[in-house]
Amino acid sequence: MISGVTGMPIPKIETIQEWKAVYEQYKLRLSLNNKPIMQVIEYLKLKYPLKEETSDRFKEIVVANIKMNEQLALKIPAGKELTPIVFTVSNEGNAIRLYETREKFYNGIPIIIGMEVETGYFFVEGSTELADEVTAFKGLDEHDIQNYYIVANYIRCLKKYQLLENVLNY
């Protein structure tokens, strides 16, 4: 991958074609199965030690990520205030494995999970493993299921955790 103007990697044409092929293969076999953010939080709290971050700066980042992304902004319900929630994952208990196995470039930073209640948006910083786990757990909403990249990433995560057969319609 090469970097674009924003510094974000630009995927190769072949990669985009692979995502589109996965999308075509699975799009008709998937159902809407999106879990609300509060259910995602409960799932995470059962597995990992979480500390809520109340800093306005953290919350502003979550809201900015949504508002600055055209596809995410479409999910903002009319007349609703966004409700961001941010947690850090403590390096203890089940989370020790996340910290020990994560990519080296994340060393020295906490694992952060940013979420927003109204749109269902989430991000994980500091652990690709946890990002994949949440992606597989959370499911797809009516917007996600129409996006070839989101579907391809979801399928990849389901396969990683051997959950694909649990969500396919035959």
pLDDT in tens, 7-19: 567 889 999 999 9
CA distance 169 to 165: 9
Mean pLDDT rounded to a whole number for the chain: 93
- CA-closest candidate to residue 114, choices 9, 33, 44, 34: 44
The pLDDT of residue 2 is above 90: no
Q: What does the pLDDT read at residue 10?
A: 84
Share of the chain above pLDDT 70, in %: 95
Over residues 142-167, mean pLDDT: 96
Q: What does the pLDDT read at residue 170?
A: 80
- CA-closest candidate to residue 153, choices 142, 138, 165: 138
Q: What angle do CA 79, 83, 86 make, to 5 degrees?
A: 160
Over residues 80-105, mean pLDDT: 96
**Which of 68-82, 84-98, 124-138 has the least mean pLDDT?**
68-82
Are 28 and 22 within 8 A, CB to CB?
A: no
This prediction's pTM: 0.92
Share of the chain above pLDDT 90, in %: 90
